[in-house]
């Protein structure tokens, strides 16, 4: 995800600095709207680190996605934390 790669890296650094951060793998899914906003954000499993990143993703802005017949463009981020 070149357009948001640095944002993800910064958010993960901040999330991993939290007192209850975990290194468990997790997935964040979201839709990117036509104007580049991240919406309908969900994550699993429910960990503090996943919740932290999902909160950060809500503030991300991406370039307008390619046209997608269902409207918003889905994105899946599989996160593997390596200390």
Mean pLDDT (the chain, rounded): 88
By CB atoms closer than 10 A (0-12, 13-18, 19+), residue 43 is buried
Measured distance CA(39)–CA(30) in Å, rounded: 6
Q: Is the pLDDT of residue 1 over 70?
A: no
Measured distance CA(11)–CA(56) in Å, rounded: 6
pTM for this model (two decimals)? 0.85
Query: Average pLDDT for residues 27-50, to the nearest whole number?
Result: 93
């Amino acid at each position: 995800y070149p357009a948001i790669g640095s944002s993800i890296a910064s958010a993960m650094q901040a999330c991993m600095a939290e007192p209850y951060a975990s290194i468990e793998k997790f997935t964040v899914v979201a839709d990117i709207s036509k104007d580049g906003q991240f919406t309908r954000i969900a994550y699993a499993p429910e960990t503090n680190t996943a919740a932290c990143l999902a909160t950060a993703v809500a503030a991300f802005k991406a370039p307008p996605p390619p046209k997608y017949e269902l409207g918003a463009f889905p994105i899946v981020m599989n996160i593997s934390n390596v200390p």
